[in-house]
Chains A and B, each alone.
Chain A
């Protein structure tokens, strides 16, 4: 399973993964909006074993990468020091491999490195114990508050935040000391129970919004829109 940056050409398959797993869906343009606004932040997990490495010249027989997980992330439009996780999902067939955590680590580090973000926020269903465990125990997120009836089906969300400055303090120190060389991301320990149910979380963003509205009317707050199924 490769963990790598999301490319535009991945988007149809990322969209498929999203539609398969999650109730909160977006049209392709919204993924493009992420990929073209903050191209460093979104990552995919790819099942490379299904890829034919000796891909022929025929695009129809050399299959596109099989996306088994993704994290779609951005920088807050109102506060360029805060990152935000728009959507994160791992296919049920590929759980317990620690993919969600690995995706999150890459994405949050890029927020820190590229945008100098101080923290990152996300929303998670209050019932999603596995995801909450991943965020709080493994990644160090702290619960901020409960947002009542955040999801379209009436469920509440925890709003969570991670302090990126302290999360990457050691790594940055090491990088400073050794020039370009950086320590590996801490991935110690065993795979958590995080995979028990795939991480289902998305924020309510822009179901009704075309990117154009985000583009032309920057003042609009997409997070105020009602979304979800």
Chain B
């Protein structure tokens, strides 16, 4: 069952026991009948109407339910049951604000109703109304003070409101009522005291936290937690000798956790300059056991020169002899240091000739092949990596490997990666498909294959690939299952492939699906507000609430938000794109092409509809046999995102995606750039300015801010309202943008002259020029010179140039000429041709 629908049905299970009706799916219709019978005898009986409304809502008849609940309220305004039900209905459509209002009304009428109080409290913690939650939990505690969880809940309320003192007091008061110490097996108790320790530590009193921890240290079943906490406190309190012991004890349990080694270093008073001491320390751990990786790998971070070379040599040899294919992954972060990169390159190049000429140094003939092969594999990855890239060499190694072992899919996979880096996305996709065919039962390679297909715009093929490992009989087929299983990566890549082709409906559809999944994830915590209190695992619960508060700080969110905002900006700038005919990159002035595209779109829509209908029937047939767990999934009314694409307010929707980005990513340059773009178009000049100023602070020299500042000044020129205030605010921009009368045209020319060899400066010169003089074609001309003038232009910058030329309205012929020049630099990069011919 769909997670979302099951969540929805779960909220319906929150039922008012006050009305003595248990609603279960299987008892739904008897409930309905009973309600109707009562209503026959007692029409306008508010409570019964309310209960009937609740049942209707459970059956998915939301509108009828709301109508009846309102009637119920009219019939019996003084019934807390009616208000409670009204609140439950709002909650079931996720309108927490209205639900809280209704619950409050219910409570006014019936202040002691534990059911209403509980529902209200759950929403208060869900919406992080800590003060309200404290109040509710206080009342609940008064009602049933014998339950430990009521005390714990109140403590949580105070703790989250950062009132550590009250939180601790509540827990202490309960502990004081205990007649004897709970048994060792009492998990609720063990957790509650550890939770108290967490509160003491967070209040900043480490000394007392340590003292308290010592009183529970021996009896706590959570050995890892108490050992980690103790080590941390000891270190914070500068009790180094004991801290050392504590960290050593932790390392004896788990020698693969860097935080423990770091703690031990600090306890020993070692800093990174004491290389000899550190080396010995790590050697002592490495010598304990062959299989410990961390103690061998960490020294490579701080050792230098000959010491590094020696350590790297023994580390690499050991791994390559074992045939560890992830050896390269384990060391590539060292490449940030160019000399370490060269050392490693030299060492492994050396092994290669060793392997061939002298055989394996250790003499183990059975492993000789593995050493040689793993070495070659290392080198293939090495030369494919961005900091040590030489794609020609990489391909030579890949070819050797494939010759040695043609059935090993990893080598074909690496081949696909090399091809991708050379810009040959179509061959990369083919190579990955070939790799997949070598092991069709392996989902990892299947996943990679689908991803490469999407990068090559093969959406349908990618979906077919994915279908090998999905449940395809569910509503919505393969895509429906991927959505149910919250496969963000697929939805994102799929959407991006559509966005590249200006198929904005489907692109937005995918981005919104991911956006909604984040809403589901936020909603997911709801059940745990009661569940975790019963389970007693409070520390994990509090951690989870804190994580949920920052849910959208995850890069998965940023990626689709940025994607979606860009699409909405395009829809705002060129409303014609929102029309069907324009969604295939068809020239809107070409009547013939439009007609053709329209026909094509109609055909596809028809096919889609037929397919959906078939899927629906199949799913329905399936469902008839299966035991129904919850409700039917409603068919999607806008599967192709047509409505999303045709929105009348693209900027308003974009703002919804933008808000969390600005909340969590204020220090992110790209976020501020987008903030500017959205707010400038909305005419929110102060907010645009705020983003612009932030962008200048984050990266004063970034060329994007130059173009944005010029555009900002141009946009402000015709303003009358607020002009004076705006000018004042703008004076904090860097010169010359702080001056409303500055000659920006000359500044822009000076800017491009000064950075003539930087593609990104040239692009932003062109963007600025467009704002200063829309009739000028000088910007486009300058861009066209980029392949000649900018020696270091990279592939991504080349692609950006193509996109910008199109945005500025360049002719297809000149875009293709631009791409052709770039193609001379990267002959294999078929992606250039693809992008230029859109």
Residues of A within 8 A of B (CB): 1-5, 7-9, 12, 15-16, 19-23, 25-29, 32, 35-40, 47-50, 56-61, 63-64, 91-98, 102, 106, 109-110, 113-116, 152, 180-185, 187-191, 197-198, 208-213, 215-216, 228-229
Q: How far is the CA of A60 from the CA of B664 in the complex (A)?
A: 8
Q: Is there contact, CB below 8 Å, between A8 and B543?
A: yes
* In the complex, residue of chain B having the shortest beta-carbon distance to the beta carbon of A56: B667
User: Is B170 close to A, CB under 8 A?
Assistant: no
Q: Is there contact, CB below 8 Å, between A40 and B222?
A: yes
* In the complex, residue of chain B having the shortest beta-carbon distance to the beta carbon of A57: B667
Chain A nearest Cβ from B405, distance in angstroms: 14
Chain A residues near B294 (CB, 8 Å)?
1-2
Q: Is there contact, CB below 8 Å, between B249 and A3?
A: no
Give the 10 A-B CB pairs with smallest separation, nearest first. Answer: A212-B10, A210-B6, A49-B333, A39-B540, A58-B667, A59-B553, A27-B3, A3-B256, A208-B1, A8-B544
Q: Is there contact, CB below 8 Å, between B527 and A116?
A: no
Q: How far is the CA of A49 from the CA of B257 in the complex (A)?
A: 12
Given contacts A19-B485, A184-B255, A229-B469, contact A32 B289 (CB under 8 A): no
* In the complex, residue of chain A having the shortest beta-carbon distance to the beta carbon of B323: A96
Q: Is there contact, CB below 8 Å, between A187 and B291?
A: yes
Q: How far is the CA of A8 from the CA of B524 in the complex (A)?
A: 12
Q: List 29 A-B contacts (CB under 8 A).
A: A7-B543, A8-B547, A16-B489, A20-B444, A20-B489, A21-B447, A23-B443, A27-B484, A29-B524, A36-B531, A36-B535, A49-B333, A57-B667, A58-B665, A59-B553, A60-B553, A92-B410, A92-B442, A92-B445, A94-B326, A97-B330, A98-B293, A106-B254, A114-B221, A181-B252, A184-B289, A191-B322, A212-B9, A213-B6
Chain B nearest Cβ from A102, distance in angstroms: 6
Q: Is there contact, CB below 8 Å, between B524 and A32?
A: yes
User: Is B541 close to A, CB under 8 A?
Assistant: yes
Known: A28-B3, A97-B330, A114-B221. 6 other contacts (CB 8 A): A9-B543, A19-B485, A27-B485, A37-B537, A187-B255, A212-B10
Q: Is there contact, CB below 8 Å, between B443 and A21?
A: yes
The number of residues on chain B lying at the interface, defined by a beta carbon within 8 Å of a beta carbon of chain A, is: 89
Q: How far is the CA of A38 from the CA of B322 in the complex (A)?
A: 36
* In the complex, residue of chain B having the shortest beta-carbon distance to the beta carbon of A20: B447
User: Is B601 close to A, CB under 8 A?
Assistant: no
Chain B nearest Cβ from A206, distance in angstroms: 10
Q: Is there contact, CB below 8 Å, between B256 and A20?
A: no
Chain B residues near A36 (CB, 8 Å)?
528, 531-532, 535, 537, 540-541, 544
Q: Is there contact, CB below 8 Å, between B444 and A210?
A: no
Interface residues of B in 517-539 (CB under 8 A from A): 520-521, 524-525, 527-528, 530-532, 535, 537, 539
Residues of B within 8 A of A (CB): 1, 3, 6-7, 9-10, 13, 185, 217, 221-225, 227, 249, 252-259, 288-294, 322-326, 329-333, 410, 442-445, 447, 469-471, 481, 484-489, 520-521, 524-525, 527-528, 530-532, 535, 537, 539-541, 543-544, 547-548, 550, 553-556, 558, 629, 664-668, 670-671
Q: How far is the CA of A111 from the CA of B249 in the complex (A)?
A: 19
Chain A residues near B527 (CB, 8 Å)?
29, 210-212, 215
Chain B residues near A98 (CB, 8 Å)?
291, 293
Q: How far is the CA of A100 from the CA of B40 in the complex (A)?
A: 65
Q: How far is the CA of A59 from the CA of B665 in the complex (A)?
A: 7
Chain B residues near A188 (CB, 8 Å)?
289-291
Chain A residues near B664 (CB, 8 Å)?
59-60
Q: Is there contact, CB below 8 Å, between A39 and B291?
A: no
Chain A nearest Cβ from B675, distance in angstroms: 13
Q: Is there contact, CB below 8 Å, between A22 and B332?
A: no
* In the complex, residue of chain A having the shortest beta-carbon distance to the beta carbon of B190: A114
Chain B nearest Cβ from A37, distance in angstroms: 6
Q: How far is the CA of A5 from the CA of B1 in the complex (A)?
A: 30
